[in-house]
Structure 1
Amino acid sequence: MPPRSARTSTEAPRLSLRAPSNLTRVDDPVLLDGEHREGELYARAVLDAADLAGITLQECLLQGVSLDGTELRGARFLECSFEDLFAPVFRASRTSWRETSLRGTRWGSAELYDSRFDAVHLDGGKLDFVNLRGARLTDVLISGCIIGELDLTGCTATRVALQDCTVGTLTLDGARLRDTDLRTSSFRTINGIDGLRGAIIDDAQLLLLAPFLAESMGLRVEA
Structure 2
Amino acid sequence: MPRKTAGGATPAPRLALRAPQGVTRVAEPRLLDGDHREGEHYERTSFDGGELAGITLQECLLEGVRLNDTDLRGARFLECALEDTYAPVFRAPRSSWRETSLRSTRWGSAELYDSRFDAVHLDGGKLDYVNLRSSQLTDVLVSDCIIGELDLTGVRATRLALRDCTIGTLTLDGAQLKDADLRTSTFRSIHGLDGLRGATIDEYQLQLLAPFLAESMGLRIEG
TM-score of the pair, normalised by structure 2 = 0.97
Aligned partners of 1:7 and 1:115: how far apart in 2?
32
| CA RMSD of superposed structures (Å) | 0.9
Question: Amino acid of the residue matched to residue 19 of structure 1?
Answer: A
User: Is residue 105 of structure 1 aligned with residue 105 of structure 2?
Assistant: yes
> Are 2:130 and 1:130 equivalent residues in the alignment?
yes
- Equivalent residue, structure 1, for 2:192: 192
Q: Which amino acid aligns with 1:20?
A: P
What does the per-residue CA deviation read over 1:113-162, in whole Å, with 9 as the maximum and x for residues that have no partner?
Answer: 00000000000000000000001000000000000000000001100101
Alpha-carbon distance, 1:6 to partner: 5.0
Separation in structure 2 between the aligned mates of residue 6 and residue 124 of structure 1, nearest angstrom: 32
Distance 2:219 2:55 in 1: 51
After TM superposition, where is structure 1 displaced by more than 4 Å over at least 4 residues in a row?
A: none
Does residue 61 in structure 1 map to residue 55 in structure 2? no
Give 1:7 shift: 6.2
1:86-122, Cα deviation, whole Å (9 max, x unpaired): 0000000000000000000000000000000000000
| 1:9, distance to aligned residue in structure 2 (A) | 2.2
Inter-partner Cα distance in structure 2 for 1:115 and 1:148 = 20
State the Cα distance separating 1:28 from its structure 2 match. Answer: 1.6
Q: Tell which has more relative contact order, 1 or 2 (C-alpha 8 A, sep 6+).
A: 2
- Tell me which residue corresponds to 2:179: 179
Secondary structure, in 3 states, of the residue corresponding to 1:210?
helix
Note the residue ranges of structure 2 that are not aligned, 5 or more in a row.
Answer: none
Q: Which position in structure 1 is the counterpart of 2:31?
A: 31
The corresponding residue for 2:51 is 51
Aligned to 2:206: 206
TM-score norm. by structure 1 comes to 0.97
Provide the rounded CA distance (Å) in 2 between the counterparts of 1:192 and 1:7. 29
Q: Letter of the aligned partner of 1:155 in structure 2?
A: V
The aligned counterpart of 2:160 is 160
Secondary structure, in 3 states, of the residue corresponding to 1:208?
helix
